[in-house]
Amino acid sequence: MRLEATDLRSGYGTVPVLHGVSLTVSSGEIVALVGRNGAGKTTLVKTVLGVLRSTGGALHLDGVDITRMPPSRRVRAGLRATFQERALFGALTVSDNLRLSGFGSESHDRVLDAFGPALSGRGSQRTGTLSGGEQKMLAAAIALATDASLLVMDEPTEGLQPSNVALLGDHIESARDAGRGVLLIEQHLELAKRLADRFIVLEKGEVVDSGPAADPDLAARVARRLLI
Amino acid sequence: MDALTLELLNGASLFAILAIVALGLGIVFGLMGVINLAHGEFVMLGAYVAYVVHTVGLNHWLSVPLAAVVLFVLGVVIEVGLIRRIHRQPELTILATFGLSVCLRQVAELVFSKDFRSVPNPVPGATEAFGVLFPTYRYLLIAIAAVVVAATLLAFTRSRFGLVVRAIVADRDLAESAGIRTGMTNLCAFGVGAATAGIAGALVAPLGAVEPQAGLAYLPGAFLVVIVGGYNRLWGVAAGALTVAAVQTGVIHFYDAVWAQIASLALAVLVLQFRRPTPAGAVA
């Protein structure tokens, strides 16, 4: 599966945020999208999933134009996203959130056990009462356990303790190794370096740099851009 | 004692009518945030279904499921043709459903004329219970309304459809992102809301005149119920109907029907004053 954004534009009301972003994410690769706060990363995630309407450009999933598709159809086409905020239904139980994502009760334990004991046996708990980190883990666990071919993960490690950051990294790598494509929005540069096959740097709604993660010059430029 | 029992039964009968009429309004407002000013006309059309069933010589009870089906289909058509395009703009939905209510009344007038029609009581006579005589049909009405309201509440709280509805109400975008077809759920909800209004219309048809303006009588009461019970919880419709029925029955007992209406309105104003603001569109 291949996600292709071509000259993608979007924004909020009359305020443009993305000024023509082009990128691709293919099966079996992790593309790390990095950029400072306000670069447009979350706007890009929302636009790719269709929660935010694009104002220009095109999005294709395996050659199919999904630019005007509602989010639910994009999900059924194989795309899945975790949002930086509001990733789960806080008023519903953990089990309800799993059911909404299509998991039968027989698979709840499998999903919840993916991150060790942190979420185990907490199916009946109201999701909003989980800690921020636990909610992040749950959102990531749900996304990774779906059969989506292409995952878009918006800062999934934010608020996680270091051991869980490493564990989540392992799960994302496993997803890549299983042939899934991952667009990873990540501020945690070390993790991004560890996981990514390619880097894309976003600045003020435009792609300003990109290339293979193995390129030491690019890694240095990325680090410099994020620090400055 | 007999007088009190009779008032309680009258109150229960009023509660049944209010609850079943307001149920659909609560569903549509709670889930979609749509203030459906044509809801009374859906009730009126349900009553006409009962009238048609009577005129062709069929059993009255057949009109209840038939009205549900006819109004469900009509609700689906209206949702697709009108509501879907504007449901995120409350002011437009008010205007559009007001226009729709006028259209539906005119259509009813063209088809059935302005004449008052009647549907005979399928269960005439009274039953003696609790030491008083009370119309048997009203006992049945109370029982049927209780079943319909309970079944709807169960469907919206215990089923997957109910879970999906609660998810959409909580966060429509997030629900879409989880792969939930919110448009289809809206369609079902509007259809079910219209269907419950149709059931209400068929059930109340034997109690009064069937005429194009009949729906207007039910809309204010239904809105009072939704306001008092709260539009953020579907069971609030039942609680609201119980409260409004209790207030109206009590005031009628001690004063008269005019004061009962004034008391209901005052109750609604009081509830609005003290209720914490909640986002529009929230069935839990």
- B57 contact A CB<8A: no
CB atoms B182 and A100 under 8 Å: no
Length of chain A: 228
Residue A119, domain member (yes or no):
no
Q: Between chains, do A89 and B170 touch, taking CB under 8 Å as contact?
A: yes
Interface check B174 vs A, CB under 8 A: yes
Joined tokens for residue B193? 């809301």
The model carries a pTM of 0.78
Residue A107 lies in a domain: no
Given the DSSP bridges, would you call strands A198-203 and A30-34 parallel, antiparallel or unpaired? parallel
A138 belongs to a structural domain = no
Check whether A224 has a pLDDT greater than 90: no
CA-to-CA distance for A145 and A172, rounded, in angstroms? 11
Query: Is A72 a member of any domain?
Result: yes
CA torsion, ordered B138, B11, B262, B280, to nearest 10 deg = -90
H/E stretch holding B118 reads: none
Query: Is A69 domain-assigned?
Result: yes
Contact B46, B198 (CB under 8 A): yes
Contact B167 A89 (CB under 8 A): yes
In 3D space, the residue among B19, B69, B78, B71 whose CA is nearest the CA of residue B43 turns out to be B71
Cβ atoms of residues A22 and A210 within 8 Å: no
Domains of chain B, earliest start first: 2-274 (1.10.3470)
CA gyration radius, chain B: 19
Domain contains A63: yes
Its domain, for residue A158, covers 2-89+149-227
| CB within 8 Å of A39: residues ≥ 6 apart | A202, A203, A204, A205
Residue B30 reports pLDDT greater than 80 = no
Considering only residues A90 and B274, tell me which one the structure prediction assigns the higher pLDDT: A90
Q: B279 pLDDT band (50/70/90 cuts)?
A: very low
What phi, psi does B62 have (nearest 5°)? -65, -25
Q: Which two tokens stand for residue A105?
A: 């009760």
B50-89 pLDDT, tens digit each: 999 999 999 999 999 999 999 999 999 999 999 988 887 8
B170, B176, B179 ranked by CB distance to A51: nearest: B176
Nearest CB partner across the interface for B177, out of A71, A90, A92: A71
How far apart CA A48 and CA A131 sit, in angstroms, is 28
Q: Cα B58–B59–B62 angle (5° rounding)?
A: 100
Q: Do B171 and A86 touch (CB under 8 A)?
A: yes
Between A and B, how many residue pairs show a Cβ–Cβ distance under 8 A?
A: 56
Give the residue from chain A lying closest to B168, CA to CA.
Answer: A89
Token readout for A62 is 């395996």
State whether A71 and B164 contact (CB < 8 Å): no
What does the mean pLDDT of chain B come to? 87
B187 vs A: CB within 8 A: no
As to burial, measured by CB atoms within 10 angstroms (0-12 exposed, 13-18 middle, 19+ buried), residue A14 is exposed
Contact yes or no for A75 and B177 at CB 8 A: yes
Min Cα distance A223 → chain B (Å) is 32
Q: Which of A55-64, A156-165, A199-208, B191-200 has the lowest mean pLDDT?
A: A156-165
Say what the alpha-carbon torsion angle A48, A52, A57, A61 is, to the nearest 10 degrees.
30
Please give the angle made by the CA atoms of A22, A23 and A24, to the nearest 5 degrees: 145
Q: Around A203, how many Cα atoms within 13 Å sit in the side-chain half-sphere?
A: 11
Cα–Cα distances in angstroms (integers) from residue A148 to residues A77, A179, A183, in the given order:
8, 11, 13
For residue range A8-67, list pLDDT tens digits in order.
999 998 899 999 999 999 999 999 999 888 889 999 999 999 999 999 999 999 989 999
The whole-number pLDDT of residue B284 equals 38
Residue A139: its H or E element: helix A132-145
Q: List the 58-97 stretch of A: residues with Cβ below 8 A of B.
A: 70-72, 75-76, 81, 83, 86-92, 96
Number of Cβ within 10 Å of residue A119's Cβ equals 21
Enter the tokens of residue A63: 């050659």
- For A103, which residue in chain B has the nearest alpha carbon? B178
A118 in any annotated domain: no
In three-state secondary structure terms, B259 is: helix
Which residues, in sequence order, are bridge partners of residue B66? none
In a domain, A121, yes or no: no
CATH number of the domain residue A75 falls in: 3.40.50.300
Residue with tokens 């795309």: A79
Residue found under tokens 């603001």: B277
Number of domains in chain A: 1
Cβ contacts of B281 on chain A, cutoff 8 Å: none
pLDDT 10s digits, A98-134: 999 888 888 888 888 887 788 888 888 999 999 888 8
Q: Determine whether B115 is exposed, middle or buried from the number of CB atoms within 10 Å of its CB (0-12, 13-18, 19+).
A: exposed
